[in-house]
Structure 1
């Protein structure tokens, strides 16, 4: 089959488009999916460049094209364990089931599906453990992929394959953060990186919960974020306290970190909650611990997702409670062009790869 092999940690040269990749064979409890579309996510790039290694202290963009010389393969995956190469990446998978392994009903053949991107089947559903589809196992950057049947969800809706492929990683990350921080109706939520896939998903999902949303993004992207439901948009780089009172925010949803981290804590109320699932501006921040304990703040690091998070997303789609936010598409073989656009941060919303049929 045709697909993209990641041959090691590094620059774009580590992405190898091939037409001789062996077709995956579903084992017991698995399904084989003919992939239609696959979204681009920050985790794909972070994995390729080895950004998760403790040897890296810069933001993703600093090594997005060429990788990091300081990355160590031993801890360069998000799970902290070495990856096996070659690996087919791609956390977002939309397609149709074309075959099933032992123990899976053949009636599932033909279903249009999304694969849960944080897989628990392969770790026997142990607490706080999971694999990422396209990291610890092969993912969706190929014509076919296999996945656990019980974590492959039929979706009944009028969305296109491209639109569905924009959902799994970004929206589950956003929903997982809101779920972990227990965002409730009437609360004020501040969202960083709001024009990206996770941030724009968080806007919709927070509004769905009845929250008031302030987004942080480039000034030119404000109209789109207001259209998605944000109540206000703060231009990226401007002091937060020029726009918000101190101690006026209940929850911060952060995927940026970096130099602006301290300001986020300044605007949190006493007893406020901070949830983080990314650090695109840099993973090392300065924390005055007195702010943490004197304001009784709660910090949530968000990777693992409770089972209900992805199941809820499927229901939101089918009930029309959220909508896709796709900015551009590329054929799978132009994955490097897609990642270059992703790294430019010039467009808001999701970039999706269309897989040849």
Structure 2
């Protein structure tokens, strides 16, 4: 569900399309944002019906449809089950970084729990706003988990330990940072585009949010390029008889990550369809924003599939042993301290060798002096 008021105003314009005839005209015919703001001032508040539902064109309408309680509860339960499964798998396979995936699944669970509450109290703006933000941002956690898993695959299987000139640790660091940036940008845009915002704020929030979505898609495309380069290099190494020296195959996990990213990208395309609606699309031709079932089928379901894929082909089944993980901060300090000690010992050994050479030279000189 994208910015509510913007969709409401578009629907109102569409409801009046009979006054225009069959010619829709261009975007300029729709007037500027100030006209839309004045129109909002003239709209009518409607007495809420059961569960607080009002018509779409009412001032006190905070949803693009009449949200249903039972589907929201069922979806929250399914995401809750996935959350429990991934918590158990994180402990079973001892994958500490799986907390990122758990957060994504947990946010989906909380979002639909709040959506269920909002279905029973549709005049509660907080429910609509919090559900909207959590629902839009939860996939970013899953996206970050895919980045972190691939970086460990490079560390574990790649013959050179780097792909595209980037070492495994660098891939993890920079792509997770990119995901955090996308998270912040989309979060700001989603919060600005809440049901209580003015039209101008909604417009700015929409642009910010779409910028974050476009940025996320750009990073996914670049990331898929690195995955393909990894795939080619590992396949080439196997074809030439190079022993990757691992107990498991890299292909199932890589293909599962492809599947996860397809689910996330599919979700991105659906959001852009909603954005296209703001340009003035007939609801009869594009009913997606006005029917809740599309939200479940085209947004929730891909995320469920992504969580299911990870549960079946969990990284813990393939990335086995300490060499599959980046060293912890404590381990890094220990390694650094060991290297310093080795350098110090090496330096002392060189000094001792020099001193011994001097002593040997002095003894040789003394022996020469004692010759008859």
Does TM, scored on the shorter chain, surpass 0.5? no
- Structure with the higher fraction of residues in strand conformation: 1
Instruction: Give the TM-score normalised by the residue count of structure 1.
Output: 0.22
TM-score (normalizing by structure 2): 0.22
